[in-house]
Structure 1
């Protein structure tokens, strides 16, 4: 009998070798152009910084991410130690802890790092997917932003937490989280019933939070209702009080269970019961919702825009590499016009989404640089563009990754063959986190009505689409004025269902036009 009978010597080795050589930044000419455009005179220094960062990211951290994403090492909770003590230890693979420590030691939120450098590095990190890392980074971003505004000398605990999260203490960098969702509604923060009871300079928390991602974090930003009032306030809650982390003695709370989620599966997300946890108040009493939205949620939505861009950049790169390698019916996949069109579309979506993400981040950095009425208008533009980006980029990322997967054929379904199935699930989570589409569209509609006396919708459209053909701007502006005249927050009718669909398409269309303008500026 011939031992070679039925053998198949087809090999993916050439594809794997090419994939190993990819550098996320150095091999992405468009991303380099985007960074250079917004860096200005700092472009050369920033280019060198991102090049060195990407070399580690594209080799060591990619390998760690692949090991972290295995199903058998997903997080679990150990409620008790061997001696009956309640510890609620979040068990994670060693590779996860290692990756987390290495990345946080980069000082991404240090007071000395340039904000654009931090943003660009965080966007690159999202090309790994979430892998239990990038949600903690986004949440820490929100914590640091909050405390830079509200930590003061009369609150030494908050000052120390800020230092721990931004510049580190003794070489250790703290991780932040944000716990706002309760059983009665995730985005409906005003409906929170978690109770905050005054206790001298601090508060004690009693009740339940239902969806708490980054359960292993050192500190959480938590919304709660002041006891005996209707006021929602904001607090920073240490997971462990000083000296208790080593003893695994949690600060007045227990972890009920970890959630089983569609995506971000490497990230521990829990239900938590508070039984008198010490909480430090942040900002004015009763202003918790407005502060959380303005600082914490806005930064998270901004980060989702960057993450969505990263997902599409990675998806296009992976699909292009495979299509250039794989031969089907005598030709490379990339040589078939129908497949080539998909690859072209993926590239264009990746480029405009990346350029748009940096464009919105630049607006965030510059929004308060103007004076007088211009300041209010710039801040409003940023607020609405963040919402539009969150809706549009998150949806486009899901569609783009799905299209990239199709170019792999059956291999696209295999999670140990490609990162794309994992990125798809993570991208679908991004569509829901920090507000689903219908909620954010409603907010845009209400915002435009709220400011109409001093910032007409027509002017808003002209301002955010400067550079677009004037006829197209007029068309967008007329359609928006017409739709705003409809009672979209009123009773549901068949007519309003059609209006709602048109409003959604208009908002997303305007933001995609803004992305294309950003891409055109970058490409020259």
Structure 2
């Protein structure tokens, strides 16, 4: 009798994998630019407080095994299939504006915060600190990207919060640096007169988000209409205001505080808005609804209403964009890291499938057409990974020595952040699709993670500035900070002389820069902004691969991305590409 329900020729579950140790480009990048370890175990939540237990995963190997475990993968799936639920009122009609998450989400958050994915680079600064933190962030975002939003915003809020009044900063900064995860809002922060003394009734940790976008302006934050009216009170936290307005996108609304842009009498300004006021009362922070999004389902994105909401000025009045730009810059960096992490998940799943699935008489990986596709996907992933890690290294001067920055590195990261954000995040969706297709019909089902990844990848190209916004920012750098281009080409030029095709592409990129710079404020320059940004991105990636990757990887990338010797879609590799060597790293 034929058993029609016998399962044959299906790949085994990809579980029990060390996601760090199995990722050769990431391991090599951390060894090159990081400290190859993340010091310290999760800090306790503090006396008398309860928090969700986080596993002690304080090294990258431990983190890699944790996120590669079957349990973490099940939590990642559940956090997305049981999305957040908004509760505007309690059973008695009191306005509470709380978001309920599945326990799987809380377990993921506890592990990520406990491992320092949020602020470890600030808590333990030094050369390589941002690379180590980026690697932790990468590993968690590779398997479950939705939780990475509040993790990223909390990391990015630190330099902006440094501009707040000393008492506010001194009270809140230790909470941001804590490795404890306490998901509930504080019941009581303490009496105003006691501020800023630490109180046993306060939470010992905090997540910080931001709210800038309004429905009439989008990326044009100067079109914001939210008003900030001074109360005349100037207390230990600084100048107090009352905010009134609507924010069209506010991610992670369960966070403990937010950095918000609003129009004060002196112009657009940045404000610190706590969810719970110093006297223990809830601040006015009305969550109107949660967005029904294409992807990113585990992360609550919302519309909020501010109505006489208490807020404290951060930075100078009228300098809101300049104040919050440090936060935006670092969340853009995390978009790059998150997109690279998504590419790694896509490649890892595709490579696993083709190594365990047979068709037409042989394993898929042994069939040249499929091997070429996966190898091409691996090239893209490796280029994104090495770029993200080198970019993270450029941020180390701030964490290591805030008072004495490395000016060339600052210039490099100013331009390279925008360039990488544009290119790597835009390459993410197409990359995810091609990897999904490697799994055939399985890839298109929700039972496998690549359908979720396919919906996830477009977000990071939109968040913190979509394509035109970022490309025009590159033009802005060219017009106002030409020294950043000098620093960029100093870094990229370190690969000069190693590959003839790279040298030609580098000269071509320089030529386009000169052409655009001659009339950088014109409409013609704006029309070439994407071309310019793409050229810069490709020579940056090629430079890093030529210097640091195996010859098979660097040569294939240069031939297909710079010489145009490949096709327009993945898998059209030219003759002579060593697909076996590339696949060995996937």
**TM-score > 0.5, shorter chain as reference:** yes
**Residue deviations 1:489-515, cap 9 Å, x none?**
43x7xx985x45533432333333344
More helix by share: 1
* Residue of structure 2 equivalent to 1:24: 19
TM-score, normalising length: structure 1: 0.87
- Give the Cα–Cα distance (whole angstroms) in 1 for the partners of residues 530 and 132 of structure 2: 38
Aligned-pair CA distance for 1:6: 7.4
Summarize the alignment of residues 114-133 of structure 1 with structure 2, pairs less than 5 Å apart.
114=125, 115=129, 116-131=131-146, 133=147
User: Partners of 2:138 and 2:150 in 1: how far apart?
Assistant: 14
Q: Deviations over 1:466-502 (max 9, x none)?
A: 2234444322211221233356643x7xx985x4553
Report the secondary structure of 1:308's partner residue.
helix
For residues 413 and 11 of structure 2, what CA distance do their matches in structure 1 show?
A: 46
Extract unaligned runs of 5+ from structure 1.
none
Q: Which residue of 2 aligns with 1:52?
A: 62
For 1:15, the equivalent position in structure 2 comes to 12
User: Which of 517, 534, 543 is the equivalent residue of 1:484?
Assistant: 517
Q: Shift of residue 209 of structure 1? A: 0.7
CA-based RMSD of the aligned residues comes to: 3.0
Are 1:465 and 2:493 an aligned pair?
yes
Aligned to 2:151: 137
In 2, distance between residues paired with 1:376 and 1:319?
41
Partners of 1:233 and 1:284 within 8 A in 2 = yes
Where does residue 102 of structure 1 map in the other structure?
Answer: 111
Contact 2:290/2:302 (<8 A) preserved: yes
CA contact (8 A) 1:151 1:162 kept: no
1:150 is matched with 163
Task: Map Cα deviations across residues 234-290 of structure 1 (whole Å, 9 max, x no partner).
Answer: 11111122464xxxx631121111111112111111111111111121111111101
Provide the residue aligned with 2:254 in structure 1: 216
2:89 aligned residue (62, 76, 80): 80
Question: Pick from 508, 519, 524: which aligns with 2:537?
Answer: 508
1:257-272, aligned counterparts within 5 Å? Answer: 257-272=289-304
Q: Report the number of matched residues.
A: 497
CA distance in 2, matches of 1:317, 1:390: 22
* Residues 519 and 415 of structure 1: CA distance in aligned 2, closer, same or farther (over 3 Å): farther
Contact 2:179–2:205 under 8 Å retained in 1: yes
Q: Tell me the residue number matched to 2:470.
A: 440
Q: Is the 8 A contact 1:107 1:113 kept in 2?
A: no
Partner Cα distance (1:127, 1:22) in 2: 13
Give the secondary-structure state (helix, strand or coil) at the position aligned to 1:465.
Answer: helix
Assess, with a 3 A threshold, how the Cα gap between structure 1 residues 45 and 178 changes in structure 2: closer, same or farther.
closer
After superposition, what is the alpha-carbon deviation per residue over 1:297-331, rounded to whole angstroms, capped at 9, x for unaligned?
00001111111111111111110000111111222
**Equivalent position to 1:332, from 330, 349, 363:** 363
Report if aligned partners of 1:185, 1:191 keep a CA contact under 8 Å in 2.
Answer: yes
Please list the CA deviations of residues 112-154 of structure 1 after superposition, one character each: whole Å capped at 9, or x if unmatched.
43523222211111111323x100100101112322x32443x
* TM-score, structure 2 normalization: 0.78
Structure 2, unmatched stretches of 5+, are 40-56, 181-199, 235-239, 498-502, 555-586
Cα pair 2:83 2:102 within 8 Å, conserved: yes
Check whether the contact 1:129–1:422 (CA below 8 A) recurs between aligned residues. Answer: no
Contact kept, 8 Å, 1:392 with 1:511, in 2: the verdict is no
Distance across 2 between alignment mates of 1:105 and 1:502: 42
- Tell which deviates more after alignment, 270-279 or 30-39: 30-39
Query: Aligned equivalents of 1:84 and 1:290: distance in 2?
Result: 41
CA contact (8 A) 1:151 1:159 kept: no
Structure-1 residue corresponding to 2:574: none
The one-character-per-residue Cα deviations of 1:212-247 (angstroms, maximum 9, x if unpaired) are 111111111111110x34x11111111122464xxx
Q: Which residue of 1 aligns with 2:196?
A: none
Q: Give 1:353's match in structure 2, choosing from 361, 384, 390.
A: 384
Distance 1:221 1:49, change over 3 A: same
For residue 241 of structure 1, what is the aligned residue in structure 2?
A: 277
- Separation (CA, whole Å) in 1 of partners of 2:7 and 2:116: 45
Q: Secondary structure at the match of 1:20?
A: coil
Tell me how far apart the structure 1 counterparts of residues 152 and 544 of structure 2 sit (CA, whole Å).
22
Distance change (3 Å), C-alpha of 1:242 and 1:62: farther
**Greater shift after overlay, 96-105 or 461-470?**
461-470
SS in 2 for 1:360: helix
Kindly indicate whether the alpha-carbon contact (under 8 Å) linking 1:359 and 1:518 is maintained by their aligned counterparts in 2. Answer: no
Match of 2:268 among 232, 236, 239: 232
